[in-house]
Structure 1
Amino acid sequence: MKQIIKRGSFLTLMFLLLGCLSLYAADNDLITRQITITLEKAGTLPDRIASSKKYKITNLKIIGEINGTDLRMIREMAGGNYTGNSTAGKLSVLDLSEAKIVKGGDYYYSYNDIYNNNYYYTSNDVIGSYAFSYCSGLTSLTLPAGITEIGSYAFGDCSGLTSLNLPTGITSIGSDVFRGCSGLTSLTLPAGITKIGFGTFYGCSGLTSLTLPASITEIGNSAFRGCSGLTNLTLPAGITKIGSYAFSDCSGLTSLTLPTGITSIGESAFHGCSGLTSLTLPAGITSIGDETFRGCSGLTSLTLPAGITWIDSYAFLNCSGLTSLTLPAGITWIGERAFYGCSGLTSIYVYAEKVPEIGSNAFERFDAKKCTLYVPMGTRDDYRLSEFGDYFENIVEFESTGIDKTTTSTDVEEVARYSVNGQRLSAPTKGLNIVKYSDGSVKKVAVR
């Protein structure tokens, strides 16, 4: 019996060893040195590589003109065929620095929808739409120097891509270009590009460094959505618009400087940016859209410009780290659940002499009894009798227009001091300070 067991164990061990050896042989069969192929004529790459070698080459350099026929084969070698389905290709390093993309040949990608069949062909000096999409095996790609344009989804779901240099002549990139490139860690966009389009970096969770050119004027919808690895980003001064969901779920983002020229920020633009601690909105912003800062739980300081008149529904939902808030004089509407779950709020300064309208549950799910609402002199009763009175027991008037140049009289003592943005100050700070005194009065004080 023991001999039978030993014999069975021996056979099992032999099978395992043979299996390991076969796997080693398969891996060892890969062609890992760089293969350089010079094409005398576009469309001839399939004639230059035998079918037995096609899926074994890992490092390839192509010199000469390439068209759709060549690109289709490159896709297959890199793990994705012309429909986006996976292949056995092992190509990981592709050097096209001495290649030139030209019009002609077969289509390199196609897909069918409910309306028609879509076929994609090469054009001169253009990385076309879906050119390398789903080529998950690619880790490094060097593009031709003469490229001027990159089409939509050109590198979509190239999850293995870690290195990519974009030529200086590129002036246009399409939507979803790098969508799902989760392995990409750094990238520099060349000068001349004016727009980060829809979903350009959507899901690039590994991206930690990104350099944007001064020519950028617009950040499109979902442009950086899910870029959780980005910790700080400097936006060019010429940007005027940030689209909806532009930075949604960028949970690692802690620092962001918004240019003064921005006049429009779309809904949910910073939804889920839980690492963001402070932000100053430019003076040209007049409204805060739906869910703009929803789930920004780390936000402790936020400066709203004087021109804000409208705060939409769910705008600051669950911003639990926010401790103080200043609402400008022109505010007329605070939407449904706008500050729902802002459990850290202890003070709110409202400069509006006419009581703003508020939606349902605007200030729910935090202890409003521990939060003091500061309102302009002479408006306390108006606020108390409005829907604000349903939430706040502590409503205190402060002088919102005059500026006192002395800190206090000898009859009362200072008990708290804040910046005009509602931040607690430990000592007088140059500029305007809001000071609360022991007699309950609140004054704005100029510190020189």
Structure 2
Amino acid sequence: MSFCAIDFGTSNSAIAIPTAGEAGSAGMRLVPLEGAHLTMPTAVFYATDADDQPPAARPGPTADDPLPRCFGRAAVQAYVDGYEGRLMRSMKSVLGTALVDQTTEVGQGLGVKYLDIVTGYLRHLRQQAEAAGGQALNQVVLGRPVYFVDDDVVRDAAAQASLAAAARAVGFSDIAFQFEPIAAAFDFEQHCTQEEHVLVADIGGGTSDFSVVRVGPQRATRTERRDDILASHGIHIAGTDFDRHISLARIMPLLGLGAFGPSVLGQPPRPVPSRVYFDLTTWHLINTVYQPSRVSELRNMADFYGDPAHHRRLMKVVQDRLGHALVARAETAKIAVADGGHTDIDLGLVEAGLHNGLDAEQAARALEADVERITLCALDTVRLAGLKPGQLGALYFTGGSTGLTLLTDALQAAFPSARAVRGDRLASVATGLGLYAGRLFRG
């Protein structure tokens, strides 16, 4: 019974372990990771001030990696509370990129490899699970998106290999993978009363993944389910992209995005260079803007701005390292209008009294292209399965981004005859991975 299942997500993660005394393919439970919370934000905060540590900071695991750190909600809170250090989120997005083996500065001249950040987070999950279960865990099923990297099988394979290497580094000796939307289908199947085809829409922080799976009470007892998986497809667009586009539409224009410089010698004004704004809205690129050479370059661009306030605000964000905080405000605004209505984005941290509104219609315009591409991906998945939309029995929603009504409405409109079923947005995949781990490792 030394096995577990880990849903290592872009935004949130969870881990399932066997329930004592249970047998068969059932008998798995999710481990409370922070108080009673069964899921935990995929976030790490490296605390670099030895004299001022967050209450939840833990020492580094080895002499070679001694930096204290916080995980999950405590990591986000340490950042919000202003402790000296570096917040890392969306670490999953570096898998399959050149960044995975690179070192990133966390403050005070200290650096950590991106893959070591992933390893440290997985180690924390394993330690929490071993403490909850009272035994060592050596076998693991790891969830993975249908594609870590779109349209590049070499980089996609490298991404899985990096995640496997991180799992081995924390002590797992037997490692298996399962597609996240298929794991969600196993969770959905627990409540099926008849055989049918389900399209699983697993839309989280980093990817939108779809699988067409044949499910049913008789099929749930089978260990080998390969012939029940009719198609899997995915696209690298999801929650963090939504946050980025909300920020580009409603926050970055106040810092100069889309603005023009002054007219020089009677020539038409030129647009303000835009690269910095796209980097400031992409989690794993934000810290590249804080490099001294980049800050110096931006400081010398004051004459590029027709409105001095835009440049002043941009430099405030760069010099005070507010990029992650602004993305977080975009995410909060997105959630606030997920079911309609209006919210106000407070940007007082940039300039006293600065703010901008966001309503459901503005959000829909900002996310229109993303929603369309995700919907087309869902339709392609059903086509790859050899089915027509009307042959689906159910459309199963899971993943944090399925809380966005305009997205789920678009998907339901594409499959009007399928009944819409909502799973636990944050825990369905982990639950299904646990079911699969039980079937795989119990034999």
TM-score by length of 1: 0.20
Question: Considering only CA atoms, is the larger Rg found in Structure 1 or Structure 2?
Answer: 1
Q: Which has the higher contact order (CA 8 A, sep 6+)?
A: 2
Task: Please state which structure has a larger fraction of its residues in helix.
Answer: 2
TM-score by length of 2: 0.20
